[in-house]
Structure 1
Amino acid sequence: MKIVAVTSCPTGIAHTYMAAEALEKAAKKMGHAIKVETQGSIGIENKISLKEASEADVVIFAADVAVKDENRFSGKPVIKVEVQKAIKNAAEVIKEAEAMIEKSSS
């Protein structure tokens, strides 16, 4: 499964990057490809291109603030969770993504 994710918190410092790292580790451990964009205090890093967004099977927003350029992901299944959930239980978030994809393909 190809996953793209955006992480963002109100201050855009530690939690943004902690969520990104947790999602990356969990997805890779579960055998999925993932690219995580961070939207923090220094702007957007590791920006997801339109091509990458269109090729993704699912989108995860682990964000406590509005995601910038959210329209890049229109038409894709989207899971929205709080940053803390991604940090504390990234594997559960990835499992939600798997379930969403299974449901849409059946």
Structure 2
Amino acid sequence: MKIVGVTACTIGIAHTYLAQQKLEDAAKAAGDDIKIETQGTIGVENALTQQEIDDADIAILAVDVKIQGEERFANHKVVKVSTETAIKSPNKLIAKMHEIAGK
């Protein structure tokens, strides 16, 4: 399954990158392709292209704040959770995304 997503926390430092790492590790362990864009204090990193979003089976927004470009995901299956959920239960989250995407 192809997954894309964005992580962003209120401070824009620790939880943003921790959530990214946890999601990437859990998705790879499940055999999925994943690309996560981070929106932190230093701006957008690892930016997703519209093509990557369009090619994805599902998107995850692990965010605690309003993000830039959320409208890019308007016509896609999206799971929206807090960064805390992504950090504490990444494997369950990836499993749930498989259910939602039907893959």
- The interval holding the TM-score normalised by the smaller chain is over 0.9
> CA shift at 1:30, angstroms?
0.3
Q: Percent identity?
A: 46
Structure 2 Cα separation of the partners of residues 17 and 7 of structure 1: 7
Where 2:48 maps in the other structure, the secondary structure is coil
Q: CA deviation at 1:84?
A: 0.5
Amino acid at match of 1:51: Q
**Aligned partner of 2:71: which letter?**
N
The yes-or-no answer on 1:46 pairing with 2:55 is no
Following TM superposition, by how much is the alpha carbon of 1:29 offset from its aligned partner in structure 2, in angstroms? 0.2
Q: Given the two structures, how large is their TM-score scaled by the length of structure 1?
A: 0.94
The CA RMSD measured in Å over matched residues stands at 1.0
The number of residue pairs the alignment matches comes to: 103
Question: Mapping of 1:1-106 within 5 angstroms?
Answer: 1-102=1-102
Q: Which runs of 5+ in 1 are unaligned?
A: none
Could you tell me how far 1:75 is from its partner in structure 2? 0.8
C-alpha separation in 2, matches of 1:15 and 1:26: 16
Question: Displacement of 1:87 after TM fit?
Answer: 0.5
The AA in structure 1 aligned to 2:15 is H
Q: How far, CA to CA, are the matches of 1:76 and 1:95 in structure 2?
A: 18
Q: For 1:30 and 1:39, how far apart are their aligned partners in 2?
A: 25
Runs of 4+ in 1 over 6 A off after TM superposition: none
Q: CA deviation at 1:5?
A: 1.1
- Structure 2 unmatched ranges of 5 or more: none
Q: TM (normalized to structure 2)?
A: 0.97
Within 2, Cα distance between the matches of 1:7 and 1:92? 17
